[in-house]
Amino acid sequence: MRNFVTPFILLVTATSLTGCGSSNNTTNTPTAPSAVAITETFSGTLTVHGALTHSFAVERAGTVSATVKTLSDQAATLGVSLGTWNGAACTIIISNTAAILNTSVTGTAQSTGQFCVWLNDVGKLTNSVDYSIDVTHY
């Protein structure tokens, strides 16, 4: 009888333990970090019939916007453009030739790389104007 009881107890214990466990089979899958917008402020003095370029690096595809934040002549109208930067020139992709204070130009960077914001007198400046412009990107 002793030989029959020991295997029986082992069998009952083994089958009882295999039934234990969780039916909730969740796995911890890491998630990508959320993209954080970067805002860069550029400033300068735009002269009559002049133009200025500021370059910046986009590290993640997504929205890119340039907003005129300050103008020493609040009635000034200028051109604001976004484009790609090759190290020597800004190739314009999107522009607003009637930008005033608080005007934004917005586009989408399809990839990472060097981009630029180009400001120019569109023939409406009568004096030089000091400006600051915020460029937001990822």
* CATH code assigned at 114: 2.60.120.380
What is the rounded (10 degree) CA torsion for 131, 42, 58, 61?
-30
Query: Per residue in 79-138, pLDDT tens?
Result: 999 999 999 999 999 999 999 999 999 999 999 999 999 999 999 999 999 999 999 999
Q: Which residues contact 19 (CB under 8 A, 6 or more apart)?
A: none
The answer to whether position 4 is within a domain reads no
- What domain range includes position 120? 38-137
What is this structure's pTM?
0.76
Distance CA(116)–CA(135), nearest Å, equals 9
Average pLDDT over residues 36-59: 98
The answer to whether position 82 is within a domain reads yes
The answer to whether position 19 is within a domain reads no
